[in-house]
Amino acid sequence: MKRTKEEKKHAAESNVLNGAKNGVNAEAENMTESQNTDMPPAEAMPQQPTMEAEVPEGEAEKEEAKTSPSTEEQLAALQDKYIRLAADFDNYRKRMLKERMELIKTAGEDVLVSFLPILDDVERAMKSIRESQDLEAVKTGVELIYSKLKDFLTQKGIKEIDALNQPFNTDFHEAITQIPVDDQDKKGKVVDVVQKGYTLHDKVVRFPKVVVGE
């Protein structure tokens, strides 16, 4: 059975269309495979860093203002600290003043207590002078009291200044007058001691009153 021209033409067009479809499908498959081979696996692909939510600048300043003390609070804290320090210093000053006053009142207590036995000896000597007829015994008793008194003063640091026949020294002597002397060696020296002088631990507490030769 012979085909007509129109049927032959229709068949040729169908073959052309089918060939074109097959070519397009093949190219699509090739592109898909190439994309699959070119793209790395999901695990190998670098992950994009997640962006943290940024706090607005105004809100950050508000949060910081809430946590940090205000100027008024800082001033109040400093004032409270100053008041406490002032109160502590005032209490310390009062305590030191009280202790100083007590020390002044009782500073010579040990000296006076140590001096009382000598006072007892003087009272006994006075009684013996009134009642005793033995002047030598009274004299010996007074000399013992004097020696005991000198030892007591030496123990407390009192020392007599040796001034007689010593060159006159304004650091240790107080001249009350000057007298002419014939001996040239006595010029500028102490020729007489009117009142003795004493030192307390090498400090002059009373200058000797002396007469200087010229």
Cα radius of gyration (the chain) = 61
Q: Which pTM was predicted?
A: 0.49
Q: Parse the chain into domains and list their residue ranges.
A: 158-214
- Give the right CATH number for 158-214 from 3.40.47.10, 3.40.50.740, 3.50.50.60, 2.30.22.10: 2.30.22.10
In the predicted structure, residue 141 carries a pLDDT above the cut 90: no
Q: Report the mean per-residue pLDDT for the chain.
A: 78
Torsion sign (Cα): 87, 89, 93, 96: positive
Name the residue with tokens 């005032």.
Answer: 90
- Confidence band (pLDDT; 50, 70, 90) for 37? very low
Give strand pairing partners of 158.
200
C-beta separation of 87 from 107 below 8 A = no
Query: What per-residue confidence (pLDDT) applies to 140?
Result: 87
Q: Per-residue pLDDT tens for 64-73?
A: 555 677 888 8
- Confidence band (pLDDT; 50, 70, 90) for 93? very high
Helix intervals (H) in the chain: 5-38, 57-67, 71-106, 109-131, 135-155
Closest CA to 162 of 201, 208, 211, 213: 208
Query: What per-residue confidence (pLDDT) applies to 95?
Result: 92
Percent of the chain at pLDDT exceeding 90: 29
**Mean pLDDT in residue range 106-112:** 77
Residue 163 CB neighbours (<10 A): 22
Angle at 58 between CA 54 and CA 61, to 5 degrees: 100
Query: What per-residue confidence (pLDDT) applies to 92?
Result: 93
Q: Per-residue pLDDT tens for 174-189?
A: 999 999 988 888 889 9
In the predicted structure, residue 107 carries a pLDDT above the cut 50: yes
Query: What per-residue confidence (pLDDT) applies to 54?
Result: 55
In the predicted structure, residue 40 carries a pLDDT above the cut 60: no
Backbone angles phi, psi at 31, to 5 degrees: -65, -40
User: How many residues are recorded in the chain?
Assistant: 214
Question: What region does 210 belong to: left with phi over 0, alpha with psi -120 to 50, or beta?
Answer: beta
